[in-house]
Structure 1
Amino acid sequence: MDSESPKPVGNTPEWSVSDLSGALKRTLEDAFGFVRVRGEISGYRGPVGSGHVYFSLKDANAKIDAVIWKGVFGRLKTRPQEGLEVIATGKITTFAGKSSYQIIIDSLEPAGIGALMALLEERRRKLAAEGLFAQERKQLIPYLPRVIGVVTSPTGAVIRDILHRLEDRFPRHVLVWPVRVQGETSAAEVAAAIAGFNALPEGGRIPRPDVIIVARGGGSLEDLMGFNEEIVVRAAAASLIPLVSAVGHETDITLIDHAADLRAPTPTGAAEKVVPVRAELMSLVADLARRQAGAMRRLSDRRRSDLRALARALPGPEAVLSGPRQRLDLAAARLAPALARNARVHEQKLGLAAQRLARQSPMARLAALRAKLDGYGRVLAQARNTALSAESRRIADARRRLQELEQRGARALARGVILRGERLPALEARLQRAFAQSLMRRRERLRSSVSLLASLGPEAVLARGYALVRDEAGAVIRDPGQLRAGQALGVQVAGGRFGVVVAGGGEGPARPARPARREGPKTGQGDLF
């Protein structure tokens, strides 16, 4: 047998790469359809453009690729972080493009209390750096709120404890916003409840709470993780309504406790902190009322004693009236002399007024005005004479200056005529010379133009041996194709004109032999053709 002959094929079936990959995929998914894997997150790549998340889970000896799809990532309570040890729940499958296997994660949770505490401490530092836990952000809790909003589970013992404690201390109107206090949706529901209470309008159909209590009973650290979520902490810090945190027992500390305006150790303690004890308050009011009544009685007694003492210190009616009576007698004694003195003063004033009135009589004023008018007439006559004399002198001076100007103008005109007569021959000679020079330049330009026209005209071209051919109508023949046999043509050469007859038809674009150039007179102009 030839050593190169093909070997016999056994019973082992042949697989295509795709079939083999599909079989492996089905085998892995059937065998590991639901697994829980514990490992450390490595090579974390946050949501890529598609929204999916890729990373690896590793321990000391092995590593497995992991994928979280976009829809699952949005529902995760614990978000993956680089280096975080977690427990991932999902299924094992293969990726044919890389011939590798991977885990498709459905849920993710921290692996143990240590990992949770490390995650919470990192989150606490981050939120504290943003100032969400600062004391200056805290609000005062109202002393006696009218409406109390409670965010808790409606079916647990917490709400019953709060209502019972409020009933014992001071019954108030309570609004309950039901939420889940544990599970994947707990954080979102609590944050929405806080924001919802803050969104209620003042004076609306549903009363807006004066204080909010976020409450939950005790539980493990994993059970309380919803109140450590960043969305809940930010909602508590952004609340405009004072917020009391009452999550877990007294030893349980969550991040919402740092952001709240007041932390209560238990839900019952929260109810005690938001309202006073009604009986104690009524006793305090009654005691204050008794103290106020006693103080009013003591004040009234003291004022009555002061009034009696002042009444004893007041003088009698005779003592009060004796001074005014004496002043009245003295005024009556001084009244008669004062009236006489007043009459004399007015009489003097009347005499002075009569004198001033006499000086202001019409006759006296008319005489004064007539004297003033006579003075104005004398001043006016004197001013008129002065003005006439000045005007006469001004006219005489003007006449004298005019005569002088006429004489000076006549002398200047005579001198100008003599000067222009002397300059006229010189100007005439310059004009004749300029005209002759201009005429000479124009003649030279005319001769140059005539020479240029002669050298560029058709007669110069015909003089070099060329001819101009025209048909019977006088049109110039440029193409032999236009000719026909027996056609009469006119030919113009330098010596004159003569007629010719075409012996044969036109032959298209074939160019005839070029005639020998006839020597013509050399003018310095090159061949234009």
Structure 2
Amino acid sequence: MPFYNDEYDDGRSGGLVAKQGAGDNAAPLSVSEISALLKRTVEDRFGFVRLRGELSGVKRAASGHLYCALKDDKAVIDGVMWRGGAQRLAFRPEDGIEVIATGKLTTYPGRSKYQIVIESMEIAGEGALLALLEKLRARLAAEGLFAPERKRALPFLPRVIGVVTSPTGAVIRDILHRLADRFPSRVLVWPVLVQGEGAAQQVANAVRGFSAIAPGGPVPRPDVVIVARGGGSIEDLWSFNEEAVVRAVAESAIPVISAVGHETDTTLCDHAADRRAPTPTAAAEIAVPVRAELMAQLDELALRKRRCAMRPVVLGRERLEARVQRLPRPDAILAAKAQKLDELADRLRRGLQDRERAKRERLGQTAAKLSLPLLRQRVAASNERLERAGMTPRLLSRRWTQARDALAPVARVLPQLDPRLPLQRGYALVTSVDGQALTSRERAAQEAALVLEFRDGKLPVTAGSAAPAQSPVSPPPAPPRKAARPKAPEPRQGDLF
């Protein structure tokens, strides 16, 4: 059992029970009280500080607050930036960026740590800014936002041109003036801030706003968009290096021309755009052609068209003239035929005359033979020859009688030779199916079917159904023929001539 002597207990000896000694006015503080005292002391002493260091562990909370750490080669301090200040940042904080943070030191009682509440943050020098720019460029290039195959061709003659720029600067006046000189076009201006807080978000919203315009609506949709700004330092042009602007330009449904700064200035917006212009004035020249040049070109094409249309006519005329020169003259072609026609006409005239003369001579000779005494002499000679010919009617009648008597016996015998005449007396005519007469038993036995023709019709029978005859039937004796009358000798007719 421990021995305790309260005679020597002054409250600081670490006794078992804490007791307040006589004259002791140092009351014990709670942890919250000492944390509050530390917090107030640190904030009063370091109410405004500027720290330079490298960002590490950058993290954005769902509430919008930004948490990070600032470090150098020997120490680390935590930092926090509330949502309002984080939204006003002109760049996107990332690990490894050297920055200058402005704010006040405070403590975090929950973890007994001190930290800096950052009110503003800037990149520490142009070198750090360029490093941040290169890092962002490499990351976006790895995503393919700057790939050449993503670039689209610009329309040759846009009807509506959208311009994203400040409405009060000289840029918009230069663009409008240049468009009016080259090819007057309809221009839609989307006014935005081109530098400072919120400029990047406004530019990104303007590019997306032009793409969101529906074709055929009350507001015409641009055929090409120009993102323009005048020259300046890298800090002035930093809004066009922001990731929001780069992604909006890369995702635009309308071809984009980037005209930010002067010819030597280059931003990430230039890499993401479909076409980069060295100046805003050059962007207007790229967007539209020269109207006067187009008219001159159209006139030249019309002239070439007329020449092309007339070229076959000219060539055809030249070929025709060359062939006409090679052809003989019409009078030369017809001269030989005309001469031959004249010769044939002369020959025809002479031939007709010769033929007329010959006919006339022959007619004269014939007319000389047609004298009356000569004709009487020839008639007398003809009568004499006719009398010698013996053509008397008695002779002709006798010859006709002899021919009739010779034909009468034949006419009497002819009806008896009709093969169907015996059918009237009860006989039958045996034929084959095809109508051939069968005159023998052997021939009839070879037929499969026979046709028996009687006086009153035909009867088809089969050869096997007829009973075979016991003895051959002798044909009836033929009737005796009358003796033919001997023909009388025909008188010999005398010669008529």
Q: Are 1:222 and 2:196 matched, yes or no?
A: no
Partner in structure 2 of residue 338 of structure 1: none
Q: Residue 295 of structure 2 aligns with which residue?
A: 282
Equivalent-residue separation in structure 2 for 1:47 and 1:377 (angstroms): 126
Asked if structure 2 preserves the Cα contact closer than 8 Å seen for 1:28 and 1:92, the reply is yes
Where does residue 156 of structure 1 map in the other structure?
169
From the superposition, tell whether residues 109 and 314 of structure 1 become closer, same or farther in structure 2 (CA, over 3 Å). farther
1:197: which partner in 2?
210
Q: Shift in Å at residue 259 of structure 1? A: 1.4
How far 1:237 moved relative to its partner? 2.0
Distance 1:268 1:38 in 2: 41
What is the match of residue 519 of structure 1? Answer: none
1: distance between equivalents of 2:462 and 2:246? 112
SS of residue in 2 equivalent to 1:180:
coil
- Deviation sequence 1:450-481 (CA, Å, 0-9, x none): xxxxxxxxxxxxxxxxxxxxxxxxxxxxxxxx
The whole-number CA distance in structure 2 between the counterparts of 1:32 and 1:267 is: 48
Q: Do the aligned residues in 1 keep the contact of 2:58 with 2:94 (CA within 8 Å)?
A: no
> What residue is the counterpart of 1:170 in the other structure?
183
Distance 1:142 1:16, change over 3 A: same
The corresponding residue for 2:76 is: 63
Corresponding letter in the other structure for 2:52: R
Matches within 5 A, 1:447-486: none
**Structure 2: how far apart are the matches of 1:380 and 1:91?**
147
Pairing 1:248-287 to 2, within 5 Å after superposition: 248-287=261-300
TM-score (norm 1): 0.55
- The secondary structure found in structure 2 opposite 1:46 is strand
Instruction: Render the CA deviation track for 1:407-433: whole Å, top value 9, x for unaligned.
Output: xxxxxxxxxxxxxxxxxxxxxxxxxxx
Shift of 1:280: 3.1
CA distance in 1, matches of 2:35, 2:196: 38
Deviation larger for 288-297 or 234-243? 288-297
Structure 2 SS opposite 1:265: coil
Which ranges of structure 2 fall in alignment gaps of 5 or more residues? 1-5, 12-20, 338-431, 436-446, 452-459, 466-497
Tell me the equivalent position of 1:235: 248
1:39 counterpart (44, 53, 56): 53
Q: 1:16-415, aligned counterparts within 5 Å?
A: 16-30=30-44, 32-42=46-56, 44=57, 46-47=59-60, 52-69=65-82, 73=86, 76-290=89-303, 292-293=305-306, 300-309=313-322, 313=327
**C-alpha deviations, 1:163-217, integer Å up to 9, x for none?**
1111122211111112221123222222222222222222222222121111111
Q: Counterpart of 1:22 in 2: which secondary structure?
A: helix
Task: Note if contact 2:433-2:450 (Cα within 8 Å) is conserved in structure 1.
Answer: no
Letter in structure 2 aligned against 1:170: F
Structure 2 residue matching 1:78: 3-state secondary structure:
coil
| Distance in 1 separating the partners of 2:224 and 2:177 | 18
Provide the secondary structure at the position in 1 that maps to 2:269: helix
- In structure 2, give the amino acid aligned to 1:225: W
Identity of aligned residues (%): 57
CA contact (8 A) 1:78 1:108 kept: no
Once structures 1 and 2 are overlaid, which stretch shifts more, 291-300 or 181-190?
291-300
Counterpart residue type for residue 253 of structure 1:
T
Deviation per CA, 1:333-358: give whole Å up to 9, x if none.
Answer: xxxxxxxxxxxxxxxxxxxxxxxxxx
What is the CA distance between 1:255 and its match in structure 2? 0.9
Structure number with the bigger relative contact order (C-alpha 8 A, sep ≥ 6) is 2
1:435 matched to which residue of 2? none
Amino acid at match of 2:33: D
Q: Distance in 2 between matches of 1:5 and 1:316?
A: 157
**Structure number with larger C-alpha Rg:** 2
Q: Aligned equivalents of 1:279 and 1:41: distance in 2?
A: 57
Hey, what's the Cα distance between the residues in 2 that align with 1:12 and 1:129? 65
Question: For the residues of structure 2 that align with 1:262 and 1:234, how far apart are their CA atoms?
Answer: 15
1:107-126 Cα shifts (integer Å, max 9, x gaps): 33321111111111112122
Q: Which amino acid aligns with 2:37?
A: A
Distance change >3 Å, CA 374–CA 249, structure 1 → 2: farther
Which string of whole-angstrom CA distances, capped at 9 and with x for unpartnered residues, describes residues 138-171 of structure 1? 1222222211111111121111111111112221
Cα separation, 2, equivalents of 1:56 and 1:9: 47
Residue matched to 1:512: none
Question: Would you tell me which structure has more helix in proportion to its own residues?
Answer: 1
C-alpha contact (below 8 Å) 1:40/1:86 kept by paired residues: yes
* CA deviation map 1:205-256 (0-9, x unaligned): 2222121111111122122122112222222222232211101111111111
1:115 and 1:190 mapped to 2: Cα distance? Answer: 24
User: Does structure 2 conserve the Cα–Cα contact (< 8 Å) formed by 1:148 and 1:173?
Assistant: yes
Q: Tell me, what secondary structure is at the counterpart of 2:196?
A: coil
Q: Which residue of 1 aligns with 2:486?
A: none
- Once residues 88 and 377 of structure 1 are traced to their aligned partners in structure 2, the CA distance between those partners, rounded to angstroms, is 141
Report the Cα offset of residue 41 of structure 1. Answer: 1.7
Alignment partner, residue 508 of structure 1: none
Matched AA of 1:18:
S
TM-score between both structures, scaled by the size of structure 2: 0.58
Query: CA 1:92/1:315 → structure 2, altered by over 3 Å: closer, same or farther?
Result: farther
- The Cα offsets for residues 243-282 of structure 1, whole Å up to 9 and x where unpaired, read as 1110111111111111111111111111111122233333
| Cα distance in 2 for residues equivalent to 1:273 and 1:373 | 113
